[in-house]
Structure formats: structure tokens, C-alpha cells
Amino acid sequence: MNDDLLNEFEASVEQLATGELSVRRLTALQAYSFMFDDDLNDIFDECTSKLSSSRAITTRSFHLQKLLGVGDAQRIRNKRENVAKDVLQTFELEQDDKSRMLSLCSEMRELNNSTPELDDKTKNRIAKRLTAIEAQVRSGLGILDVVLGGVAEVGEAAGKFGNDVKPLVDRMREVAQLARSGSNDPDALPAPEEVKKLPKPEDEDKEAP
């Protein structure tokens, strides 16, 4: 995560606090949303959406201060990640591979949303994993464990819903392959062919007595 971008973000929030709260300036502020981790992005989205309808100065001030807090939290996490880089398994991709991985995540998001066999909880979990993977790709130096979490999530869905999620599995295999290709430890992720279906729970296959 680039500290210069975080500084720009905080400057934009401070300008909103002292100037006009226009649609144009709010739209520009939302361009920074990609920088934040999942839970911080949720707070960011909530604050920016409420700002657009806020009339009271005290309410605006509350949400603007909360946005600055999101920036502080992200900066703290960045420092923690920098300390951990020596022990974390990471990956770094060329621009073409970055574009391909982001395209695969976009395809998986569409498949996730349009597969009726998936329940809402599974869809939500997969969506969060995809957002996390995209954030790692955009950060420049991604953490392999984040991709591994996505592999496990899709594998669990495959075990539960079978061939209905095969298109998701196929794309996640390619995501894993790309991450492996740019990894400082290519053995840290399962090979693409190892993204396997988990067995269905035994009681699902048994008839009720």
C-alpha cells in the first residue's frame, strides 16, 4: 500500500471538511476505495454513502473523522505488513499477469453472483476472498496466504455444490498458477490441479431413518 496515496486520501478528506461537499468531490474521494482492506473498505463505503445525504454539520464531521480513522488504520496495517515481509510468502506479477488475474477475479465475481445453486453465505464468503485477492494484486507485492484462502473457499464450495461451481474452480486454478509463477516460494500454494473438491458431509448422502 502506497503511503503517498494515503496522504492524498487524507488531504482529500480534509478538503471536504473545510469546503463544499459536492457530488464531484465525493465521487473523486470514492476513487481511493481500492486502497483499503476488506473491513476498512466496508467502513469507507458506509461513510461516503452517508456523507452524500448528510445535512447536519456535526454528522458530516463524524463521518469525515471516521474516514481519517480508516486511513490511520490502513497505515498501521501497512507498517505491520512491512515488518512481516521477511517471513511472509509473497508474489509479484508482471503487468500482463496482473491484468489477467484481475480479469479472472472479475469473471469469478460474475459467476459467483449468477450461480443459483450457491447460497448467500457462500457467495458472500467468495466475494470477500475475491476482493482480498484483487487488493493484493493491486498492492504490487501480494501475500500468498490471501490467494490460498480463496483457493480453500472455492474448494469448499466445490465440495458442497459439485459441478455447479466448476467454472469458478477452473478460474481459481489459473489464479493460483499465476500467483505461483510470481512467488518467492512456489511450493507455498497448491498446484492448479490440486484445487480439489472437498467431500460432501456424510449425512447429506444418507437417507433419513
Flag whether pLDDT at 200 surpasses 50. no
pLDDT above 70 covers a percentage of the chain that reads 82
Query: What is the DSSP-derived secondary structure letter of residue 183?
Result: B
List the grid coordinates of 38: 476488506
If asked whether residues 31 and 64 sit together in one domain, one would say: yes
Enclosing H/E stretch for 46: helix 38-51
How high does pLDDT run on average in the chain? 82
Distance between CA atoms of residues 193 and 209, nearest Å: 38
Average pLDDT over residues 19-45: 87
61-85 pLDDT tens trace: 899 999 999 999 888 887 766 654 5
Q: Which single residue is written with the C-alpha cell 461537499?
A: 21
| Whether the Cβ atoms of residue 185 and residue 92 lie closer than 8 Å to each other | no
Flag whether pLDDT at 189 surpasses 50. yes
What pLDDT is recorded for position 190? 54
Distance between CA atoms of residues 71 and 69, nearest Å: 5
Among 84, 119, 134, identify where a domain stops.
Answer: 84
If asked whether residues 71 and 160 sit together in one domain, one would say: no
If asked whether residues 77 and 119 sit together in one domain, one would say: no
Better pLDDT: 108 or 2: 108
**Would 101 be classed as within a structural domain?**
yes
Q: Residue 63 is part of which domain span?
A: 3-84
99-154 pLDDT tens trace: 999 999 999 999 999 998 899 999 999 999 999 999 989 888 888 888 988 998 99
**Would 153 be classed as within a structural domain?**
yes
If asked whether residues 7 and 78 sit together in one domain, one would say: yes
Distance between CA atoms of residues 41 and 38, nearest Å: 5
